[in-house]
Amino acid sequence: MDGQSIDLMADIGSAARLAAAELAYATPARKEAALSAAADAVWAQRQAILDANALDLAYGAEKGLSSAMMDRLRLDETRIQGIADGLRAVAAQADPVGRVLAEWDRPNGLHIQRVATPLGVVGVIYESRPNVTADAGALCLKAGNAVILRGGSESFHSSGAIHACMLAGLRAAGLPETAIQLVPTRDREMVSAMLRAVEHIDVIVPRGGKGLVGLVQREARVPVFAHLEGICHVYADADADLEKARRVVLNAKTRRTGICGSAECLLIDRGFYARHGAVLIEDLLAAGVEVRAEGELQEIPGTVAAQPDDFGREFLDMIIAARLVDGVDGAIAHIRQFGSSHTESILTENDATAERFFQRLDSAILMRNASTQFADGGEFGMGAEIGIATGKMHARGPVGAEQLCSFKYLVRGNGTCRP
């Protein structure tokens, strides 16, 4: 890490701390006004954003980015409208700061409240999608946090143009512009500087592929909200309803294969298989999914033989691993060994079996008779999310504005002394 990055990090970090102190008691109306004004600015400045995006696309083409990356990078009027709509949606959410999370009285007359407060300063490190500039900036601001954004070098100009709109929003509402800072350099050393900035940053949220998240989790000295992989399992129990099971399995795998809530492994109880046969797998094959099957399931025409490393693997593609298991305990044992603590779903009509699955697994999200594709802050009703976390501390599952909060205790007495 070079001296220049350390100096820049200290400057940005100190400014963020000062902004955070002010944001902590900014009124809900003021934060809402800033986000609405930012949405207006994004739409008004759409041509400037598209021009900036054109520079990034030219740079990306020169660098030979994959077509998937080029697609993530590309903006058009529809996507810009989506960014503005996202800002308005966060603006309209309930303000999470100051919520009374718990309160009680003590026999000596003390009244104790636990109230939500901002976390402080959030660092967001992301890759090619320029819309994260607006989404992450908005959620952090809603929760009263200052944010330091470090976008991908590919989206440098697009992120800058969107950031300018966020600043316009802050100015319009009379909030400090340092509330949402964008690292003004493509220098990769700044990522290292952010990961070590325990004095200046309270939590880091990486947004991107496994390479980025893995780097952040390995190197960060600052706490991290993230999931490395979404190796989501669907288990079809002996007591599953066949029609529900067919519907959910197909949706969990095929609705969108590139998101972290997509199912990567189908576990079928031997009793279910004895009664219903290959129908779940035949549905997947008919939908064009490559089914990597183990043991007896390989006898089903159209499947391919699973390799050992196909279990515990995140395909993010039209591929699924499949295996027979002995009841819910077999499914639990498999998931404990191969899961990533993200999301698993059980298909069963048996309450006791579902309860056992819910009790004995400790993934961030456990589902019954529902598609793993619901693992999403929007689908949970949280408005937007900055990501999904699989750690045990503070934030798990979808991370929205509520999860970007900390808390403090307020204690009210009447000259009360401790005996």
**Considering the rule CB under 8 A, would residue 123 count as an interface residue with a second copy?**
no
Closest CA relative to residue 252, chosen from 350, 169, 373:
373
Q: How far is the CB of 412 from a second copy (least distance, A)?
A: 5
CB of 364 to a second copy, least distance (A): 6
Closest contact distance (angstroms) between CB of 5 and a second copy is 22
Distance CA 115, CA 103 (A): 9
Q: Is 333 in the site for a second copy (CB under 8 A)?
A: no
Q: Choose one: 67-75, 113-121, 189-197, 292-300; the region binding a second copy (CB under 8 A).
A: 113-121
Distances (CA, A) of 321 to 170, 242, 263, 395: 48, 20, 9, 29
Among 174, 209, 295, 413, binds a second copy (CB under 8 A): 413
Burial category of 322 from C-beta neighbours within 10 Å (exposed 0-12, middle 13-18, buried 19 and up) = buried
- Residues 199, 202, 207, 211, CA torsion sign: positive
Which residue among 79, 99, 247, 270 contacts a second copy (CB under 8 A)? 247
Q: Which is nearer to a second copy, 137 or 144 (CB)?
A: 144
Rounded to an integer, what distance in angstroms lies between the CA atom of residue 304 and that of residue 67?
28
Q: State whether residue 89 is helix, strand or coil.
A: helix
CA distances for 201 relative to 14, 22, 198, angstroms: 10, 16, 6
Q: Which of these ranges, 6-14, 59-67, 79-87, 379-387, lies near a second copy under the rule CB under 8 A? A: 379-387
Which of 96, 230, 339, 397 is the binder for a second copy (CB under 8 A)? 397
**Two tokens, residue 144:** 């009263």
Among 74, 88, 171, 360, binds a second copy (CB under 8 A): 360
Is position 412 an interface residue for a second copy (rule: CB under 8 A)? yes
| Using rule CB under 8 A, residue 258 touches a second copy | no
Judged on CB neighbours under 10 Å (0-12, 13-18, 19+), 17 is middle
Report the residue from 32, 127, 202, 229 that binds a second copy according to the rule CB under 8 A.
202
- C-beta of 298 vs 369, nearer to a second copy: 369
Instruction: Tell whether residue 270 is a contact of a second copy (CB under 8 A).
Output: no
Residue 110 sits in the site that holds a second copy (CB under 8 A): yes
Binding mask 17-56 for a second copy (x = CB under 8 A): ----x--xx-------------------------------
In the bound state with a second copy, the residue whose beta carbon lies nearer, of 70 and 115, is 115
Residues 34/178, Cβ–Cβ less than 8 Å: no
Which residues fall within 8 angstroms of residue 185, CB to CB, at 6 or more apart?
8
CB closer to a second copy, 156 vs 225: 225
Report in angstroms how near the CB of residue 393 gets to a second copy at its nearest: 4
CB neighbour list of residue 310: distance below 8 Å, 6 or more residues apart: 292, 321
Between the CA of residue 157 and those of 234, 256, 391, what are the distances in Å? 41, 29, 33
Report the interface residues with a second copy, using CB under 8 A. Answer: 21, 24-25, 104, 106, 110, 112, 117, 119-120, 202-203, 223, 241, 243-245, 247-248, 250-251, 255, 336, 354, 358-360, 362-371, 373-374, 379-381, 392-394, 396-397, 406-418
